[in-house]
Structure 1
Amino acid sequence: MKKLFIYATIVLTGLTSCNDFLDKAPLDAFTNTSAYWSNTSNLDNQCNTFYNNYSGYGNGSGGGWFYFKTLSDDQVDYQSTVWTYTSVVATSTNWSAPFTEIRRANYIIEGLQTSTLDDAVKANYEGLARLNRAWQYFQLVRMYGDVQWITTVVDPADKDVVYGPRTDRDVVMDNVLEDLNYATTTITGTNKQRFTADMALAMKADITLYEGTYCKYRNANDNAGKAADNTRAEKYLRECVSACEALMAKGYSLNPSYQGNYNSVSLASNPEMIFYKPYSQNTFMHSTIDYTINTSGTSGMTKNAFDSYLFLDGKPKATTTMDTDDAAVKDANGKYSIENVLAVRDKRLAVTLDPVLCFKGSAYSRAGVAAFTSTTGYGIAKYDNTTELSVSDRNSINKQYTDCPLYWLSVVYLNFAEAKAELGTLTQADLDKSINRLQARAGLPDMTTQPEADPANNMGVSNLIWEIRRCRRCELMCDNWTRYWDLIRWHKLDLLDSSKNPTIYLGANMKNVENPEIDINADGYMIGSNTLNQPRTYEAKHYFYPIPTTQLTLNPNMQQNPNWK
């Protein structure tokens, strides 16, 4: 399949305003005509701009969503380990950028009302606009909670809208669901590099799982007065199951290679892909691999994450009869190897990490690149392609061209099993057609509906839900900031408190390391570099980002999120 390069190529200009949902409006006298909206090339140009918002592995030297978003218990960032926000800010693109895209979507929807195109054609383009409006509002809601729901291209003179109060987040999410349902029934086309109805279903599955579990586990004290709502939770979880079932009936199948989903120069023939971002050598490239081998330091996996991987007998560290010694041993090259440790664990772990530890005083070179170190000793290898990309291309900024998965079948399986488990309707047959296919690829025994208890279960959920969450964590390790938002929706953000959960700042077992130049605790585990002076303390306010003060000044009807001052 020919790769389409429509990302990061279009910039629209127009009015600007100090109110974020008025900024960068794609309006001018030429485009505000029936003739303009009756031309499919113009509509394509407008809708293609939305692809810029799916950053994947990044555009050029800029970082993408994968690997870099390290605020979780999975990785220790080599730059900063504290919260995204520790104080209120004046401005933030996390707030402003989505409103720019929402205005663009509303502009397209309004313009189509004057179009003379066939109804089905117009419905396709409206579906594209509503899909992306839904996506942007979802980003805003999960970051900020209540936000203004806007369905028109706002006139700056309309002060009731410009300076109106925030809309209840539940109302916004109900509107998001309406937009998604419309998109799943109107978008045409089957190209996996483009928006499709299947991609809309996959997005719906992600968003409805988030909303269903968020509403089930939230409490009023930490969520701006919003208590748990089981009726609402069940509604959204059923919507998630429905979307997943529709996709599971479409003929997608698992890629035999787990790593192949992340390090392929082409995902075109990958049977698992629903939507992916294409890259190409010398045409459109990224820097993700280079960041995993950064000579200035890389973000390493935590001991907490490492311990979440099952042993090949299907049991966790606390109950397995296999060898649990995770200490690195010196190899023939004088490096500290964990190959024997990886050999008895979930096969995903061995392709996610380097087989040799890398730390200050013992840097490691992966397949010829410049030697690098990790914050925890564990290097992240799953995104690298050591056979098809040259050493120079792998070791340089803006030279990698592996395609990036955005929506794929593994995640659909995970969403399906979790939603059904939360509803209390998960059967063995459901597990066998979802999670257990992932288990098999990982070399693990099948999961049952009554797994044994794991003493590490610190989430207050059933053994079954704990195991499904474990599978999700291991399958999506270091991906797309998934873990952070999972902890938000499960109402478990307190697990990111480094004093209460110290293993999130620990790394590899270094008890056999001679004369280490790193900090090691009493049990021999590396203390994550860059963490000693950056304790991360949980506060309930972190369930929401702070509203930028500029917006509060402009709009007296807008209130700050709880506990932010």
Structure 2
Amino acid sequence: MKKKNIIHTILLGLLLTSTVSCKKYFDRDTYDSISSDKFFESESDLELYANGFIQKMVPSATTIGYSDINADYCAVNIPHDLLRADGNISPGNQGGWTESSWSNLRNINYMLVNMVKLKGKVSNEVYNHYEGVARFWRAWFYFDKVKTFGAVPYYDYVLKSSDTEATSKARDSREFVMDKVLEDLNFAAQNCLATDKFKGDGSVINKYVALAFKSRVCLFEGSYRKYHQVDPSTGNAWVNSQTASNKFFNEAVSASELLMGSNVFSLVDVDKEKSYRSLFTSEKLLTAEVIWGRYFSKDLSILHDLSWVYYSPTYGSKVSLTKRFVNTYLMKDGKPFTDKANYKTIPYTQEFTDRDTRLAQTVISPSYKMTNNGTTALYAPNWLVTRTGYHPIKFSLDNNADNILSRAASWNSLPIFRFAEILLNFAEAKAELGQFGLPEWNKSIALLRTRAGVTPVFPTTADSYLVNYYQNTINDPLILEVRRERAIEMCLEMELRWDDLMRWHMGDLLNSSNNPWTGMYIPNKSQSYDLNGDGQIDFEIGTSESVKSIVVSSSNVNQSFSINADNNLVWNYQRVWAEYKYLRPIPTEAIIRNPNLTQNYLWKNK
């Protein structure tokens, strides 16, 4: 027992210290570092090992709140390599397939293989819970791999370097891998516990987290199979395409309904002007709505850099929402803003009036205030940062007392799964199944719009602006309204919009010729503008770029401003899209090590 106590002490120390220390432990071959004969002997062993995955695999602040900046609704200073004509993405430099990239799977499978020693030593309920936790993380691992690469080899055992048959295995089909992911999520959703110990503060894996992830995964896969005619790994048609997509849609509905019917979660709706944004700026997770999230704390000096990256002209990417997307926010009466005859000429100072309250809680508005040096005052868009005038504030703090705008000092906790997403997943899956009527609307989209101060008008005709936005590929008014609501409610969260474009086969919205980065309306290029009514000039077109001024070019070269025919500001950067980009290439190095892997078919000649 003395050796066992030493092991416990080592593990506990690793779990309570920095992520770097935890990484050193988990990147080792677990079966060499700790003998399973001397571990996995009690419930506390399971808890310690499972908690290691929390430290190792929980998304970073950047992933949660800054990974969606390359989606269609954002303008950035320089787009991702995948979108640039000169972007350096190829099989030769693609990552994600090194030994360390697969180490999390090895550790998960190690737990699943060796925890059987605890059968009969702990209750079946506890045993099944921790098996469910491990299988949740395996599903998490493989879902990420499938989104990135498509078909991948599937392993449900501890892979050893000496196992040449396993290490030279070909890729399993995407259908096979995603069915395995669904099996794992079903087990986790059925067996993970939801008692106070495992629900509590919203930071650990439990039944509700498993259901939320199942809802997200199944919606993704169902729509991916529907909107992609062929498997982009092989170029072959899906096996039983409609049956398979409907299976995943139904599983998404089932998981969502279990969460919706649990009466555990609800939308935070205390103040329509503040409640939405409070979910992303509070120090504690608002667990009435947040199902799972990542904690940060000022007192414990557990901090992140989201305020810094969103406000810095050099550290961040100058992220801005586009005018074309901002136009999709509804009026409070539930009517489209774009139904107004003069919507193209409504200036920034007026376009927030009587709009969905989430707009002013997502970007700087004329009424936005910032506290600097103890003084609170109106704060206008900074033109050294914003490229369109629509500067995101969703994840940023409003008090610069700790210099949060210039260093990693933000302390707000961040949601990973919210009840709002579950409502959206339910609505979309039902709409895709053709089962979305007024009752389904009232218990999903209507709740979100009511929280945002918007009258939830049930749609009977397709909004022509949205039809055009989605390039005339969707004419169903219900699917269009669900997409509107999803983009607005989940804006900038967890790379969900990028994933949406991938699964909807809408990558063409990332092409600059289809979707230029438009900004605010400029009535007169020779005039200076006070954007918030404080008597100060906040925008003008000048001869140099500054906090309040930009330089307009007629050349439309990359990284230049221009004014289009509608007098909208445009941030110019040529972006290109092609069919092969829906998946990343299998790295050349991986194929050299294992020629049986084969390349994704559209990347073979790249």
Same fold (TM over 0.5): yes
Secondary structure at the aligned position of 1:242 is classed as helix
1:370-423 CA distances to partner (integer Å, 9 max, x unpaired)? 96521222211122232xx54324223221110101111100000000000000
Contact 2:328 2:338 in 1 (8 A): no
In structure 2, the partner of 1:384 is 396
Secondary structure at the aligned position of 1:234 is classed as helix
1:549 matched to 2:568? The reply is no
1:475 matched to 2:489? The reply is yes
In structure 2, the partner of 1:489 is 503
In structure 1, the partner of 2:409 is 399
Distance in 2 of aligned mates of 1:426 and 1:53: 39
Distance in 2 of aligned mates of 1:326 and 1:291: 31
1:513-538 CA distances to partner (integer Å, 9 max, x unpaired)? 5334242223322222xx43xx1111
In structure 2, the partner of 1:169 is 174
Per-residue deviation, 1:40: 3.1
Note closer, same or farther for the CA distance 1:55–1:436 as it changes in structure 2 (3 Å cut): same
Aligned with residue 129 of structure 1, among 131, 134, 138: 134
1:14-37 CA distances to partner (integer Å, 9 max, x unpaired)? 79xxxxxxx74322253322x301
In structure 1, the partner of 2:531 is none
Contact 1:509 1:525 in 2 (8 A): yes
Note closer, same or farther for the CA distance 1:428–1:369 as it changes in structure 2 (3 Å cut): closer
Note closer, same or farther for the CA distance 1:459–1:147 as it changes in structure 2 (3 Å cut): farther
Distance in 2 of aligned mates of 1:12 and 1:381: 32
In structure 1, the partner of 2:326 is 306
Secondary structure at the aligned position of 2:425 is classed as helix
Per-residue deviation, 1:367: 6.4
Extract unaligned runs of 5+ from structure 1: 16-22, 329-337, 359-364
Extract unaligned runs of 5+ from structure 2: 1-14, 270-274, 369-375, 528-540, 543-550, 553-560
TM-score after normalising by structure 2:
0.81
1:183-237 CA distances to partner (integer Å, 9 max, x unpaired)? 1122222221111100000000000000111111111285532435110011111
Per-residue deviation, 1:57: 5.5
Alignment of 1:173-188 (within 5 A): 173-188=178-193
Aligned with residue 324 of structure 1, among 333, 338, 343: 343
1:559 matched to 2:598? The reply is yes
Output the amino acid matched with 1:30: I
Larger radius of gyration: 2
Distance in 2 of aligned mates of 1:366 and 1:217: 48
1:498 matched to 2:507? The reply is no
Secondary structure at the aligned position of 1:506 is classed as strand
Per-residue deviation, 1:449: 5.2
Aligned with residue 31 of structure 1, among 28, 35, 52: 35
Secondary structure at the aligned position of 1:391 is classed as coil
TM-score after normalising by structure 1:
0.86
1:292-319 CA distances to partner (integer Å, 9 max, x unpaired)? 1113262111122112222233233442
Note closer, same or farther for the CA distance 1:54–1:509 as it changes in structure 2 (3 Å cut): farther
Per-residue deviation, 1:267: 1.8
Distance in 1 of aligned mates of 2:330 and 2:380: 31
Per-residue deviation, 1:76: 1.5
Alignment of 1:207-246 (within 5 A): 207-220=217-230, 222=232, 224-227=234-237, 229-246=241-258
Distance in 1 of aligned mates of 2:89 and 2:434: 40
Aligned with residue 111 of structure 2, among 108, 115, 135: 108
In structure 2, the partner of 1:375 is 387
Among the aligned pairs, what percent are the same residue? 28
Distance in 1 of aligned mates of 2:297 and 2:162: 46
In structure 2, the partner of 1:362 is none
Note closer, same or farther for the CA distance 1:383–1:43 as it changes in structure 2 (3 Å cut): same
Contact 1:273 1:405 in 2 (8 A): yes
Output the amino acid matched with 1:210: F
In structure 1, the partner of 2:532 is none
Note closer, same or farther for the CA distance 1:41–1:221 as it changes in structure 2 (3 Å cut): closer
Note closer, same or farther for the CA distance 1:299–1:14 as it changes in structure 2 (3 Å cut): closer
Distance in 1 of aligned mates of 2:33 and 2:495: 41
Distance in 1 of aligned mates of 2:40 and 2:389: 56
Higher share of residues assigned helix? 2
Question: CA RMSD for the aligned pairs?
Answer: 2.7
Distance in 2 of aligned mates of 1:405 and 1:127: 22
1:78-100 CA distances to partner (integer Å, 9 max, x unpaired)? 24344277432446553445522
Secondary structure at the aligned position of 2:580 is classed as helix
Contact 1:76 1:376 in 2 (8 A): yes
1:510 matched to 2:522? The reply is yes
Per-residue deviation, 1:356: 5.1
Contact 1:431 1:448 in 2 (8 A): yes
Alignment of 1:284-363 (within 5 A): 284-296=302-314, 298-320=318-340, 324-325=343-344, 328=347, 338-355=348-365
Output the amino acid matched with 2:153: Q
Note closer, same or farther for the CA distance 1:226–1:431 as it changes in structure 2 (3 Å cut): farther
Secondary structure at the aligned position of 2:509 is classed as helix
Note closer, same or farther for the CA distance 1:456–1:370 as it changes in structure 2 (3 Å cut): closer
Deviates more, 1:164-173 or 1:183-192: 183-192
Secondary structure at the aligned position of 1:412 is classed as helix
In structure 1, the partner of 2:282 is 264
Contact 1:141 1:169 in 2 (8 A): yes
Distance in 1 of aligned mates of 2:33 and 2:395: 46
In structure 2, the partner of 1:49 is 52
Output the amino acid matched with 1:240: A
Distance in 2 of aligned mates of 1:224 and 1:366: 57
In structure 2, the partner of 1:335 is none
In structure 1, the partner of 2:5 is none
